[in-house]
Structure 1
Amino acid sequence: MFDRELLRSLRAVVELGTVTAAAEHLRYTPSAVSQQLARLHRETGIELLVRRGRYLQPTPAARILAAAATEMDTVDARTRARLEELQGTPAGRVTVAGFPTACRGLIAPLVAHFAAHHPGISLVVHESYPEAGVEQTAHGEVDLAVVHEWEQLPLTIPAVLSTTVLGVDEVDLIVPSGHPATRWETVTVADLPGERWITDTTGIYARWLQQSLESARVPYEMAGLVNEHETQIQLTAHHLGLSLVPRLGRPPLPEGVEAVALSDRVPRRRLLRVEREDTIDRPALTLVRQALDRQAHSILEAMSPDSP
């Protein structure tokens, strides 16, 4: 019987082409991956990889072993599903990846829900930016991932994954309490000449804001370049300037600021749940999936400035 970890390391090299890329993907050192490949070579007695310039080309034997790693993972998942079904009550471990604001605003409340209502289900959370979450799901490292994509910059989703739209994360204008914009029926950035603004340094909101202000030919001043949304909000509360902050993961607004919905076509990000197409369904995973979908809908609705 081959060691599954050795086969997974080989599979990563087969898919990514280099020991360095495989090590980064597996969160090992390159030396550890090289040692695993050497051990697998000794155990099989067959040449597995041939160097072609910067890349390692897999031999037919390597492709067979890499496929075996996937088959073993599938058998493991199917066996776990059948064992869960025998227990009657959903139980087991479900691994969820999410980008930082999804972990904070969506997955953390989910953890609390399962701890209270389904203690037999153990949620394991991986904080991963969207591209990494997609990759981890495609390779079977996590059961599912919450990722986001911008309308202008869609994610590349491998064919092995299915996607479900959880909702759209809107951005709001954050202003000091009592600002005139809180009394207007509609607000655009063109309606705000002479304002000072706080934005991040390189993000899509910063680029959109500057382009919109310049297109409208209204005077403005960039008063702060701040990447953390919580810090932007606090600076707005202390009258440094206005800010644009997405709803998901946003903490309750402190005294001294209000959120105002913009009428502009501000960049929006779609929240997606991604899973492998060949995922073996099991009771615990089904419950997590359903709860995640409900949670996303209710939280995004509740974050609207117009919600009661």
Structure 2
Amino acid sequence: MLDLARLRALHAVHVHGSVGAAADALGYTPSAISQQVAKLERETGSALLERRGRGVVLTDAAVLLVDTAARVLSLVEEAEVALEEQRGRPSGRLTVAAFSTAARGLLPGVMAELSAAHPALDPRLIEEDPHATPRMVAQGTVDLAVVHDWDIAPMSVPEGVTRATIGRDVCDVLLPPDHPLSSHPVLRREDVASARWICQPPGTVCHDWLMRTLRAVGVEPNVVHLVGEYQTQVALVAAGLGIAMVPRLGRGAVPDSVVVRPLEPAPVRGVSVLWREGTSRRPAVTEAVRVLREHARAL
């Protein structure tokens, strides 16, 4: 008989593309995942992973098992949801994926409240890019995902995934105190179009927004520093190396060496939570969504 934990490990390798990423998603070490897959290979008498450069790829036999594992894990989830619904209280493991600023600015309070109010619940957080998490929810790797999108790049949700908006995250312009624009109480896009910008790397939603927005006023953006972490952007602004557009969620206290000014029209990203339709009746999911909404409103 095939072991469910080993099937889950192989399925995670397929979903996340590597043993290391699968380990992060399931909360294990990479060696533990490798051991589970090795045991499954002995059970089936088939090679399941092949080395390819520094990574691994699934064999044809592994692809067959992954398809089976997806169906089995779906049935197990149905049973778990029914049992938790019968008990009428949140319990078991609840894995939440969130983008970095939500993981810092929203989730700590949410996870703490869930843990304190529901001792039988085991909430766990994974920081993940919002582009990856809808697929993770759809495939059952995580139970919930907190995601964001912009008006210029609305997020598509996979079939079978439910989405609920929980808030809006406004972005402001951060400038050094001696910057010529720091005396303006409100900035327009034309004001900042020719500035030296600190921005996230190409391929991110924030970078795309900045490019499209400033090009719309007839200026090619002058991006001088490409930095993914917002806190590093704040440090660069404080050093007088440029200006940046930083969301309020998870931003924390801004040092005195940085000036914050609103931009009009205000750049706003929507914040939503995703979960699988099949888990909509699970008490842990409904309670987590409720707490997320409350904390998002408070922020």
* Fold shared per TM-score above 0.5: yes
Q: Which residue of 1 aligns with 2:137?
A: 137
Query: Separation in 1 of the partners of 2:199 and 2:264?
Result: 19
Distance (Å, rounded) in 2 between the aligned partners of 1:65 and 1:234: 46
Matched, 1:38 2:41: yes
Contact 1:160/1:276 (8 A) holds in 2: yes
Contact 2:201 2:228 in 1 (8 A): yes
- Provide the residue aligned with 2:99 in structure 1: 99
Partner of 2:146: 146
Q: Distance in 1 between matches of 2:113 and 2:210?
A: 37
Give the whole-Å Cα distance in 1 for the aligned partners of 2:207 and 2:64. 50
Question: Judging changes above 3 Å, is the alpha-carbon distance between structure 1 residues 261 and 26 closer, same or farther for their aligned structure 2 residues?
Answer: same
CA distance in 2, matches of 1:12, 1:220: 40
Answer whether contact 1:82 1:282 (CA < 8 A) is retained.
Answer: no
Shift of 1:145: 1.1
Deviations, residues 20-39 of structure 1 (Å, cap 9, x unaligned): 94857744689657635434
Equivalents in 2 of 1:133, 1:58: separation in Å? 23
Within 5 A, what are the aligned runs for 1:1-308? 2-8=2-8, 21=17, 26-27=22-23, 32=35, 35-41=38-44, 56=60, 66-83=70-87, 85=88, 90-177=90-177, 181=181, 184=184, 186-192=186-192, 195-202=195-202, 203-209=204-210, 212-213=213-214, 216=217, 222-264=223-265, 266=267, 268-279=268-279, 281-299=281-299
SS class of match (2:106): helix
SS in 2 for 1:94: strand
- Give the superposition deviation at 1:260: 1.7
Query: Number of residue pairs matched?
Result: 284
Q: Is the 8 A contact 1:134 1:157 kept in 2?
A: yes
1:253 deviates by 1.2
Q: TM-score, normalised by structure 1?
A: 0.72
SS at match of 1:240: coil
Q: Distance in 2 between matches of 1:8 and 1:114?
A: 26
Equivalent residue of 2:254, what SS? coil
The normalised TM-score by structure 2 is 0.74
d(CA) in 1 for partners of 2:221 and 2:68? 62
CA distance in 2, matches of 1:34, 1:81: 32
Contact 2:196 2:224 (C-alpha < 8 Å) held by counterparts = yes
Q: Which deviates the most, 118-127 or 268-277?
A: 118-127
Helix, strand or coil: the match of 2:142?
coil
SS at match of 1:131: coil
CA RMSD of aligned residues (A): 4.0
Pair 22,156 (structure 1): closer, same or farther in 2 beyond 3 Å = farther
Tell me the residue number matched to 1:305.
Answer: none
- Counterpart amino acid of residue 97 in structure 1: A
Note the residue ranges of structure 2 that are not aligned, 5 or more in a row. Answer: 24-29, 49-57
Paired letter, 2:96: V
- Specify whether residues 120 and 65 from structure 1 end up closer, same or farther in structure 2 by C-alpha distance, changes over 3 A only: closer
Contact 2:173 2:262 in 1 (8 A): yes
Task: Tell me the secondary structure at the aligned position of residue 170 of structure 1.
Answer: strand
Q: Indicate conservation of the 8 Å contact 1:6/1:40, yes or no.
A: no
